[in-house]
Amino acid sequence: DGGITQSPKYLFRKEGQNVTLSCEQNLNHDAMYWYRQDPGQGLRLIYYSQIVNDFQKGDIAEGYSVSREKKESFPLTVTSAQKNPTAFYLCASTLGTVISSPLHFGNGTRLTVT
């Protein structure tokens, strides 16, 4: 079955360490996204990528970095510069035309930084 795989499900890190969250999709979707979810808030866009080797900042990109070397993969690095990294991170992808395509989401990674 096609889908989006995020790993790991839970991640714990010490403050000051960089950490990379994995996102792989086998849906052959062109566009991929990273969203952050905090308790009681909606999802906020961190980065997105429309094609391989290209990505753009979303609304809250500071303290994060991404790469898109392969169509299937869009890893997110949470750097030590991110002031409040503890959150639930969701990866998503879309196929098709702008704005009409529903996002397909992975199961998410819950990151805790202490």
Q: Which residues in this chain contact another protein in the complex, by CB under 8 A?
A: 30-31, 33, 40-45, 48-51, 56, 58, 88, 90, 92, 94, 96-108, 110
- Report the residue number, 85 or 89, with the smaller CB distance to another protein: 89
Give the nearest distance from C-beta 53 to another protein in angstroms: 12
Q: Which residues of 15-46 are buried (b: 16+ CB within 10 A; e: fewer)?
A: eeeebebebbbeeebebbbbbbeeeeeebebb
- Which tokens sit at 5? 């795989």
Give the nearest distance from C-beta 69 to another protein in angstroms: 18
Give the nearest distance from C-beta 95 to another protein in angstroms: 9
- Which tokens sit at 24? 């792989």
